[in-house]
Structure 1
Amino acid sequence: MRLITTLWAFLAICFTTGNALTIIDSTIATSCIYYEKQFKWGCSKSGLSYNCYCKNINWLQTITNCVYNATSSTHLRKHAFEHIIKRCKSSGKVSLTMEQLYKYQENGTHYLVDYTPLAKKYIVNGTLKVNETDFDWYHKKFKEYTVFVERSQWFGWGLVLYWVFIISIASIFNINKRLLGFKFLRRYKNMINKTLLIPSMFKNYHDRPFILWKIFPFDFPTRDSALVITGFTILTIVSVCVGYNVTLPHPNFTTRLYANIKLIGFRTDLMAISLFPVIYFFGIRNNPFTYISGISYSKFNLYHKCCAYACTILAFMHTVVYTIWAVKSDTYSARAKRPYWRWGIVATTLLFLLVFHSNKMIRNYMYETFLLCHKIMSVMFIVAMYYHMKSYGWMGWVWSMIAIYSFDRFMRLVRIILHGGIVTATLKDCGDGIIKMTVKKPRYLRYKAGSYAFVYFLSSKYAFFYNFQSHPFTVLTDPTKDPNNPSTLMFYFKAHKGITRNILSRILSSGEESIKCRILLEGPYGAQLPQLVKPQSNMVAIAAGLGSSAVYPHIYDVLKNIDVNENEKSEYQHKFIWIIREINYLNWFHKELEWLKSKNCQVKIIVTGNNSRLLNIDTESSSKSVSEHSSNLTENLNVEKLGYRPNLQELVIKEISKSESISKDITFVGCGPAAFNDELRSSVAKSIPKESSINIEFQSESFVW
């Protein structure tokens, strides 16, 4: 099913953008138009001149005969006539038909007059014959222009193909890792992980932003992502700067300044619109390339922003140079009245607003507003680009955006319908602002470890816009049930603000242990290719706080089909390390911990809170019996009451040493608050020895927008 979805989406992109490459200006029509501009037709030189040209029978008869004399190809003649029709419609507000142009051409042959220099001084009355020597020069110059246009299109396609290359490389490695199991590059794997794949580009800032001068936030990717983005940036800059082969003198440009302005505007325009499908594809939830390539949603979201920044800068350059050109040529007032110009301003403005309000600080402080504005402006941008480009071609890029956006929305709806539409969930307060949600597993939902779902909370008791918001939560299953056929799904999430804070208040004010709520379940997402190659490494899951719900499914997936006696004899030593502030956290996660213990998985709990708060259980969500149960849990589990945050690098080094002693590869899976994730990432990268007999991997389960 997913492969069919991928193929459908890929073909949609190929067909819609592929058509855009064939819709370019007719060299013959353009040559004839500019050739005839040297004569007097009784029309002004302003931006409204086409309104006059396209109503002048002498001009129409002359231009159609010019096309006929320029080529004997029926196809090229028809294409040239189509161009004239579009030019008259868009620039002159005059509607013509193909039949009319053929009649003008035929009628013009009865009124042919020879070319004379007087035609440049006095208004032409008749159908001018073409001076072939003069026309050949115009034709040659516009062939240069056509080559430039085609080159600019291919530079735009080059940006698309760059991402095709990146996704292809990632897919090769992902398919090998999960389906084939060839161990190439094993010798260099640790070095690659240590220097490229794991560490952040800047110090240990990745999930959390680096705040410059306590004002300006900067997000830093991992080094491999930084390398990909750097390559894309260099390719974009080079593509903008090279390949300007149009020489002067030229009928379309009076000076080199005008030529540079027009050509740069054309180049940046074609490159910007070529990024439309990439931006929209990388930003959707139903991205089939996530499944094939193994690239995470968070990383695709990073590339989505990178391409959006590039597109915005290119669009800004396009806007600036064309504005300068219009002002210098004294046609700005006339052009500003045309719909394509106005819609271009709207589209560029929307691009800037989309990029600006996507800043992490704005998202964090006013997420609901950001979400609503982003959705509305994304649709408005498509509409603006449609009206900006419909008269000039290259509509394939616009249709690609529409196809991708519609595909994503359709698939979201399909997922919701297949999973029961409106379903009832049970919500329970676990203390410390953590809420547990339980849902009966929909019949057609296929659960995979590490997957997540978007949940819509429906209620008339909330503000109306909350019903349209969706929140991503990791999906878990009840460990006491059949692991291969779970009957219920569980979600743990923390109440922050907005709808989740309202839900917590509703639970606490109900006076009940739990409440019911209607929800829409969209997902699950995050599924990978089948893991046919059996992992041959120790798994060490390290979580902080609520991060346990994200790393637990991965170690659960490794242990679920292992018999206890078999696991006792296993050569692998899997471990679950949970760092929590208070012992009370054990109340809501004890079933999962006990199940891990029953599978002979090493479980270690590190409590960082001070001694006076270790048993300070929230009275609103617990009782004396629960407190006693917590005490029993501390006896059954390996609980270390540290009282402060542990040194993660020491923990990592210790686990690496253990794996080296039994010559087994090791994979660290981590999740927690942003600062914890960054510290763990940095600790693993620093702890990988230069020489080691085992491979050391790191997998972060943080969901970064």
Structure 2
Amino acid sequence: MPSSSLIPRGLLDVWKPAKDLEYSHGLTGVDQDGNFRWVHVTIILFLAVLVPCLILCLINSVHRHVRHLSTLTNPSKQNFWKYPRTRWWPWMQRNIFTAPLWNKRHNRGFQISSAIDNGTLPGRWHAIILLVYISTNVAYCLALPWNRPEAASVSAALRGRSGTLAMLNLVPCILFALRNNPLIPLLGISYDDFNLFHRWSARIVIVEAIIHTLAWLVNAQSAGGWAAVNDALRQEESYTWGMVGTLAFFFILIQACSPLRHAFYETFLNIHRLLVILTLAGTYLHLERHGLPQLPWMWVIIAMWAAEWTVRLARIFYLNVSGRRITRIKVEAMPGEACRVTFDLVRPWTPRPGCHVHMYMPLLAWHSSHPFSVAWSPEDAVPVTEKEKTLSVLEGQDQPPTAHPTSKQISLICRARTGLTRKMYDRAAESPHETFYTWGFIEGPYGGHHSLDSYGTTVLVAGGVGITHQVMYIRHLIQGFHTGTTATQRILLVWTIPSSECLEWIRPWMDEILRQPGRKHCLRIKLFITRPKKKLENSVSTTVQMFPGRPNLKTILEEETRERVGAMAVTVCGSGAFSDEVRAATRVRMGDVSVDFVEEAFTY
């Protein structure tokens, strides 16, 4: 019989002083050797996925860089790069990495009604990883010492196994939720993908935590009845906080269900953060009060979270606060129930194509942040240093550079839906000149890890407000074409909008793009108006065309493939169904030509 010092005071009188008692407390009956054996196997499994992904990312980066450099001497001749150099990589791209789980549905949501969204399907590569991840955790929980004669001993082993695995899986669960996750730039994988893995790892953690609690509950109740369970929860702080953590986990599982999450996202996010804090506090105190060996893992989680918030706050204060100055925001109501939001920052930042920021507007949502693609950021001239001028002369440049591209302004296009975006639009629409001013912050930039500089042909596809992801790419690629710093020779923009009024969203920026040197030689634009109010003229100019209806993406990509120069990139930002159509049309070409597919999505 265990020492009475290990048993909470008052429980000896309630619990039966029998064999079941020792399996209800501490590490008695817990298979520690087996627990940490499977911990090591799980870590090895993570590394077995991470290391090949890292190597593959490095190989692709080197390949693109070599392709980029090789095209700079004669950008118009890129025949070597028009076709894939291997058979296995296009097959992997078409059938695994860019493939949907089944048929072509991936980011198109499953909606019972306009108010009930059941989320999206993972891609095939995501599904393979998740299947291995889930099945291994199930196998580890079942790999128990079943040959023990006492059921209470097996239950104690399950308690230890599920608790250990829950704590271990909590580490990547928190890591994948961080906006400043170091794996994002390292692997070139989007936060959207990591958010998918965060949700599934969280579900595994919650299920294992519930199993851990139920296994303890079974033995405790068997040893002394429900009175003993009640006394244990009241008198032993470790049990009390463990139950608090488990209940918080359970409420997270319910509250994070896709229909509730999508229907009330801002409310979900605020409650979710509070529940996570409560869960982590309960888990930490549960481990600390019992002095369990998994406590250092909690310190790792706390350190990651502290580093995340330190970086985020530093970014916010650096860009938005200077003395008494705070970032000023201009919000303009636009046709098609959208807003153009312009931030005048207190310090310059270096814009990059494809990035996004999180917006804070305390006047309308005092503590919430929302992600938006950066639609435009005008470049200011900042003189280079004398050292940089000297280096440029030594490197043989005829004219040393005179400026770096930086900016103190960021513009976003926000479509009015629910929550903050609806409040913004309604406030602007009711204001004089349909414009109002306020103060706020941006956090970022994030993303923008996909460079298109090494592709001779680029197809940029946008649906509605998804044009915000493409505009800065267009400006950057035209500049590269004119200066000879990119492989770009052909740029095609395909933009689908409900009415021609939506052109006002980006008119000032598009006017600037159309005045760029070299634009007529590389850029073509195809606009598709799905609900035109009048008859459209197909040709606005030789390089800008306007069509009624929806685009035939398969035909467009076939035509562009025939006329391509070098390798081709297809990038899309739009609704889930629209992106799935572009993905399907692109996958058909993989294997026959050298083509890569890039998708920007916020399926939070």
Both proteins in one fold, TM over 0.5: yes
Tell me the CA shift for residue 441 of structure 1: 4.6
1:688 to 576, 585, 589: 589
Residue of structure 2 in register with 1:261 after alignment: 155
Residue of structure 2 in register with 1:430 after alignment: 334
Tell me the CA shift for residue 35 of structure 1: 9.0
- Counterparts in 2 of 1:216 and 1:288: CA distance versus 1, 3 Å: closer
- Counterparts in 2 of 1:480 and 1:641: CA distance versus 1, 3 Å: farther
2:470 to 551, 574, 579: 551
- Counterparts in 2 of 1:590 and 1:199: CA distance versus 1, 3 Å: same
Whether the aligned pair in 2 keeps the contact of 1:425 and 1:516 (CA below 8 Å) is: yes
Tell me the CA shift for residue 591 of structure 1: 3.7
The answer to whether structure 1 residue 524 and structure 2 residue 426 are counterparts is no
Give, in whole Å, the separation in 1 of the partners of 2:62 and 2:446: 20
Give, in whole Å, the separation in 2 of the partners of 1:571 and 1:492: 27
Q: What does the per-residue CA deviation read over 1:74-130, in whole Å, with 9 as the maximum and x for residues that have no partner?
A: xxxxxxxxxxxxx9xx989xxxxxxxxxxxxxxxxxxxxxxxxxxxxxxxxxxxxxx
2:224 counterpart SS class: coil
2:491 to 564, 567, 574: 574
TM-score by length of 2: 0.81
Tell me the CA shift for residue 401 of structure 1: 2.4
Residue of structure 2 in register with 1:493 after alignment: 414
Tell me the CA shift for residue 418 of structure 1: 0.9
Whether the aligned pair in 1 keeps the contact of 2:498 and 2:532 (CA below 8 Å) is: no
Residue of structure 2 in register with 1:340 after alignment: 238
Gaps (5+ residues) in structure 1?
1-32, 38-42, 51-86, 93-140, 249-254, 616-630
- Counterparts in 2 of 1:91 and 1:586: CA distance versus 1, 3 Å: closer
Whether the aligned pair in 2 keeps the contact of 1:48 and 1:91 (CA below 8 Å) is: no
- Counterparts in 2 of 1:570 and 1:238: CA distance versus 1, 3 Å: closer
Q: With CA pairs under 8 Å and 6+ residues apart, which has the higher RCO, 1 or 2?
A: 2
Q: What does the per-residue CA deviation read over 1:504-553, in whole Å, with 9 as the maximum and x for residues that have no partner?
A: 22222222253211011111111539x6x951341110111111111223
The answer to whether structure 1 residue 475 and structure 2 residue 396 are counterparts is no
- Counterparts in 2 of 1:182 and 1:329: CA distance versus 1, 3 Å: farther
Gaps (5+ residues) in structure 2?
6-10, 68-83, 382-403
Please list, as runs of the form range in 1=range in 2, the aligned pairs for 1:665-684 lying within 5 A after superposition: 665-684=567-586
Tell me the CA shift for residue 455 of structure 1: 0.9
Amino acid corresponding to residue 205 of structure 1 in structure 2: R
1:470 counterpart SS class: strand
Q: What does the per-residue CA deviation read over 1:6-35, in whole Å, with 9 as the maximum and x for residues that have no partner?
A: xxxxxxxxxxxxxxxxxxxxxxxxxxx749
The answer to whether structure 1 residue 192 and structure 2 residue 89 are counterparts is no
Residue of structure 1 in register with 2:603 after alignment: 704
1:352 to 229, 250, 261: 250
Tell me the CA shift for residue 48 of structure 1: 9.9
Tell me the CA shift for residue 698 of structure 1: 0.6
Please list, as runs of the form range in 1=range in 2, the aligned pairs for 1:166-177 lying within 5 A after superposition: 166-177=49-60
1:467 counterpart SS class: strand
Tell me the CA shift for residue 575 of structure 1: 1.3
Give, in whole Å, the separation in 2 of the partners of 1:247 and 1:397: 31
Amino acid corresponding to residue 579 of structure 2 in structure 1: N
Query: When the two structures are aligned, how many residues end up with a matched partner?
Result: 542
The answer to whether structure 1 residue 539 and structure 2 residue 458 are counterparts is yes
Tell me the CA shift for residue 225 of structure 1: 0.9
Residue of structure 2 in register with 1:279 after alignment: 173
The answer to whether structure 1 residue 505 and structure 2 residue 407 are counterparts is no
Whether the aligned pair in 1 keeps the contact of 2:453 and 2:487 (CA below 8 Å) is: no
Give, in whole Å, the separation in 2 of the partners of 1:614 and 1:574: 27
2:190 to 296, 311, 319: 296
2:118 counterpart SS class: strand
Percent of matched pairs sharing the same residue? 19
Tell me the CA shift for residue 359 of structure 1: 2.4
Give, in whole Å, the separation in 1 of the partners of 2:118 and 2:345: 41
Note the aligned Cα RMSD (angstroms). Answer: 3.5
Give, in whole Å, the separation in 2 of the partners of 1:548 and 1:425: 21
Amino acid corresponding to residue 450 of structure 1 in structure 2: G
Q: What does the per-residue CA deviation read over 1:478-499, in whole Å, with 9 as the maximum and x for residues that have no partner?
A: 4686682334221111121222
Residue of structure 1 in register with 2:562 after alignment: 657
Residue of structure 1 in register with 2:134 after alignment: 233
Tell me the CA shift for residue 584 of structure 1: 1.6
Residue of structure 1 in register with 2:393 after alignment: none
Give, in whole Å, the separation in 2 of the partners of 1:433 and 1:213: 22
Residue of structure 1 in register with 2:308 after alignment: 408
Give, in whole Å, the separation in 2 of the partners of 1:373 and 1:304: 17
- Counterparts in 2 of 1:164 and 1:333: CA distance versus 1, 3 Å: farther
- Counterparts in 2 of 1:266 and 1:182: CA distance versus 1, 3 Å: farther
Larger Rg: 1
Whether the aligned pair in 2 keeps the contact of 1:582 and 1:608 (CA below 8 Å) is: yes
Give, in whole Å, the separation in 2 of the partners of 1:284 and 1:439: 24
Whether the aligned pair in 1 keeps the contact of 2:349 and 2:406 (CA below 8 Å) is: no
Residue of structure 1 in register with 2:267 after alignment: 369
Residue of structure 2 in register with 1:451 after alignment: 355
Whether the aligned pair in 2 keeps the contact of 1:427 and 1:515 (CA below 8 Å) is: yes
Tell me the CA shift for residue 430 of structure 1: 2.2
- Counterparts in 2 of 1:492 and 1:149: CA distance versus 1, 3 Å: same
Give, in whole Å, the separation in 2 of the partners of 1:447 and 1:151: 51
The answer to whether structure 1 residue 639 and structure 2 residue 538 are counterparts is no
1:528 counterpart SS class: coil
Give, in whole Å, the separation in 2 of the partners of 1:517 and 1:213: 36
2:289 counterpart SS class: coil
Tell me the CA shift for residue 304 of structure 1: 0.4
Give, in whole Å, the separation in 1 of the partners of 2:147 and 2:306: 44
Residue of structure 2 in register with 1:114 after alignment: none
Tell me the CA shift for residue 45 of structure 1: 7.0
Tell me the CA shift for residue 376 of structure 1: 0.6
Residue of structure 1 in register with 2:388 after alignment: none
- Counterparts in 2 of 1:425 and 1:246: CA distance versus 1, 3 Å: same
Whether the aligned pair in 1 keeps the contact of 2:500 and 2:529 (CA below 8 Å) is: no
Residue of structure 2 in register with 1:14 after alignment: none
Please list, as runs of the form range in 1=range in 2, the aligned pairs for 1:90-129 lying within 5 A after superposition: none
Give, in whole Å, the separation in 2 of the partners of 1:590 and 1:389: 58
Tell me the CA shift for residue 213 of structure 1: 11
1:203 counterpart SS class: coil
Give, in whole Å, the separation in 1 of the partners of 2:12 and 2:487: 89
Tell me the CA shift for residue 419 of structure 1: 0.6
